[in-house]
Amino acid sequence: MRRIGIKSIVLAASLAISSIGAADAAPQPAPIAPVAKPVEAAPVAASPATVQAAPAAVAAPAVSNDPMLAVDGAPAMAIDPKVGQPVDGLITIQPQVTPNGKQALWFHNWLLVPTITIITIFVLLLLVWVVIRYRRANNPVASKTSHNTILEVLWTGVPVLILLGLALPSIGLLQAQYKPAPKTAVTLKAIGNQWYWSYQYPDNGGFEITANMLKEAGETGKGERARTAIDGPRLLATDNRVVLPVGVPIRLITTSNDVIHSWEIPAFWIKLDAVPGRLNETSFTIDKPGVYFGVCSELCGARHGYMPITVEAVTPAVYAQWVKAKGGTMPGAAAAPATAEPAVDVTANVTGPVADGAATGPVRNTSATANAAGAGTVGQ
């Protein structure tokens, strides 16, 4: 009996230890690979020139040589270096800014980690005790006990209770993550491309933005802007930020133009594959304004590590302003299609080669005006 007991104890200990390793490994978000020099002339130049609506309409500061506004026209927002991005020495999950994320973080910090720790320490102490107390010198005549009902009931019942205690909140969290977005949600369609992301806002007139990684000073080509500290960390900052409102449910739809990518923002507890020919959907609500970084999380080719995601979460009022500056419409105001925003000025703030909507690929319709007419329809 004792032999079997020890065997199962050792097995349990190794399982517990290996799961700790897995938990530690999971939250590391950014694959910070050593940067090889940008291999090609980079898709940035060739990619659909990030032609954006000129921020002229925004009352907010629109200084053209402000790096954050130069291409985007989005309101400048300072980055909190401890939130929404990897932090040196952090061994746990990033601080969460969505209700699901907070629930998951609580689950991890207050149920999983303590349970694993207690079990591991208990098993370790048990092993040490057995090795010392029952070593041959101390215990020359081994016990022949073969059954102990109380002990057997306990070592079956207690693990069952532990598993139940973990399963109940876990199922609740799963359910929350699969809850469909309400009708009032703002839709963001993220489209993976080798190797950048483009985004459509079908609820806001269907305008589109393209986000390329900002290169480091010295790596940029002609007309490209190098990353600065206010853009965000190296390999995570993009030329255009995805702007989203806080406190409003966001319906995230992902798809891809070529291979499987995955849209991930660790601080939102969101990771959703972008599969060619399919639409995947999930939803989340951002609680706190801020800038949040993520990366493509599906191995998608040579420059997989160079297609980051930058989300700027702003108040709904600022979001409405931004949408207007992009030539889009807010769902309420869109009732009157007469608001044909004057042809969006695509000449300002364009660093890359200017392409008009017709010149680029079918999905890469970079002209905000082309889509404005079909307000409310989901661009495929």
Q: Which of these ranges, 134-142, 239-247, 253-261, 341-349, lies near Cu ion under the rule CB under 5 A?
A: 253-261
Nearer to Cu ion by C-beta: 209 or 300?
A: 300
Q: Which of these ranges, 13-21, 63-71, 205-213, 259-267, lies near Cu ion under the rule CB under 5 A?
A: 259-267
In whole angstroms, the minimum distance from the beta carbon of 258 to Cu ion comes to: 9
In whole angstroms, the minimum distance from the beta carbon of 296 to Cu ion comes to: 3
User: Which residues sit opposite 261 in a β-bridge?
Assistant: 274
Q: How many residues lie near Cu ion (CB under 5 A)?
A: 3
Nearer to Cu ion by C-beta: 242 or 300?
A: 300
Among 28, 69, 107, residue whose Cα is nearest residue 294: 28
Among 209, 305, 226, residue whose Cα is nearest residue 261: 305
Element (H, E) at 17: helix 2-25
In whole angstroms, the minimum distance from the beta carbon of 75 to Cu ion comes to: 28
Sort strands 196-201 and 186-193 into parallel, antiparallel or unpaired: antiparallel
In whole angstroms, the minimum distance from the beta carbon of 261 to Cu ion comes to: 3
Report yes or no: 187 and 205 within 8 Å, Cβ to Cβ. Answer: no
In whole angstroms, the minimum distance from the beta carbon of 371 to Cu ion comes to: 24
**Site map (CB under 5 A) of Cu ion, residues 204-223, x = contact:** --------------------
Burial zone of 315 (CB within 10 Å; 0-12 exposed, 13-18 middle, 19+ buried): middle
Report yes or no: 324 and 368 within 8 Å, Cβ to Cβ. Answer: no
Q: Which of these ranges, 54-62, 115-123, 150-158, 255-263, lies near Cu ion under the rule CB under 5 A?
A: 255-263
Nearer to Cu ion by C-beta: 223 or 276?
A: 276
In whole angstroms, the minimum distance from the beta carbon of 256 to Cu ion comes to: 8
DSSP string, 316-335: HHHHHHHHHHTT---TTGGG
Nearer to Cu ion by C-beta: 263 or 319?
A: 263
Summarize the chain as % helix, strand, coil (round to 5).
35, 15, 50
Q: Which of these ranges, 20-28, 232-240, 258-266, 309-317, lies near Cu ion under the rule CB under 5 A?
A: 258-266
Among 2, 4, 6, residue whose Cα is nearest residue 14: 6
In whole angstroms, the minimum distance from the beta carbon of 333 to Cu ion comes to: 35
DSSP string, 241-273: PEEEETTSEEEEEEEESSS-EEEEEGGGTEEEE
Helices (H), 134-228: 149-177
In whole angstroms, the minimum distance from the beta carbon of 274 to Cu ion comes to: 8
Nearer to Cu ion by C-beta: 300 or 344?
A: 300
Query: Please, which of residues 283-302 interact with Cu ion by CB under 5 A?
Result: 296, 300
One of 227, 241, 251, 261 touching Cu ion (CB under 5 A): 261
Sort strands 309-314 and 242-245 into parallel, antiparallel or unpaired: parallel
In whole angstroms, the minimum distance from the beta carbon of 307 to Cu ion comes to: 5
Residue 191 binds Cu ion, judged by CB under 5 A? no
In whole angstroms, the minimum distance from the beta carbon of 297 to Cu ion comes to: 8
222 to 130, 226, 231, 351, 352: CA distances (angstroms)? 70, 11, 19, 9, 9
Nearer to Cu ion by C-beta: 70 or 253?
A: 253
Give helix 113-133 / helix 149-177 axis angle, nearest 10°.
160
Query: Please, which of residues 293-352 interact with Cu ion by CB under 5 A?
Result: 296, 300
Nearer to Cu ion by C-beta: 296 or 372?
A: 296
Nearer to Cu ion by C-beta: 199 or 322?
A: 199
**Site map (CB under 5 A) of Cu ion, residues 116-155, x = contact:** ----------------------------------------
Gap between the terminal Cα atoms of the chain? 64
Residues composing the chain: 380
What is the contact surface with Cu ion in residues (CB under 5 A)?
Answer: 261, 296, 300
